[in-house]
Amino acid sequence: MLQHSNTHDQFEDTPPQVINHIDHVGIIVYPENVDKYVKLLSRVLNITFDEPIVNHDAGVIAVLSWGSGFEIMAPMRKEGRYWEKLERFGEGTCTIIFGVEDIDAAIARAKEEGADLDFEVTLEGDEPWLQRFSEFREARLKAFSDEFAATLTLSQIVPK
């Protein structure tokens, strides 16, 4: 059973830092289906999601359920990396976000093993959930071939 951090009463559904384990899973869907999948997962799994956020740099709309580990993502435009994945593999394509203790060391290790850094996630700074964390970094790796539907992202997400 997932234990929740009680260090910040306002955000009791914030899980503890995850190290060497899957932190959460991001599922890519078409923009017009974000609400449909959020409602479906909310009802079927009895979970709650935060309000949607927009990340202009990444070009996505994302809705997170911190307590369950689900993230629903949709591209904002009919172009870019998320749109291309969606068009190629369809809805349900996912990114696996894997928690690490030291993201810089993990990126260096990945590069040594032939998995280059694709990009580091840049936050807008106004995400309503950002105040839950003392540190929040994510870095997408080029770990799999283009024929592989899923992607791998490293995360160093430390709750307050």
Strand, helix or coil at 39?
A: helix
For residue 123, list its beta bridge partners. Answer: none
Average pLDDT of the residues in 12-40: 92
b/e per residue, 1-24, with b = 16+ CB within 10 A?
eeeebeeeeebebbbebbeeeebb
Tell me how far apart the alpha carbons of residues 55 and 76 are, in angstroms, rounded to a whole number: 9
Query: What does the pLDDT read at residue 123?
Result: 84
The pLDDT > 90 percentage for the chain reads 72
Tell me how far apart the alpha carbons of residues 8 and 66 are, in angstroms, rounded to a whole number: 14
Strand, helix or coil at 74?
A: strand
55: left (phi over 0), alpha (psi -120 to 50) or beta: beta
The model's pLDDT over 107-117, given as tens digits with 9 standing for 90+, comes to 999 999 999 99
Residue 2, pLDDT above cutoff 80:
no
Tell me how far apart the alpha carbons of residues 95 and 24 are, in angstroms, rounded to a whole number: 9
Indicate the average pLDDT of the chain.
89
Tell me how far apart the alpha carbons of residues 67 and 12 are, in angstroms, rounded to a whole number: 9
Residue 128, pLDDT above cutoff 90:
no
Tell me how far apart the alpha carbons of residues 160 and 14 are, in angstroms, rounded to a whole number: 9
The model's pLDDT over 41-65, given as tens digits with 9 standing for 90+, comes to 999 999 999 999 999 888 999 999 9
Query: What does the pLDDT read at residue 6?
Result: 34
For residue 44, list its beta bridge partners. Answer: none
Which tokens go with 121?
Answer: 């996630």
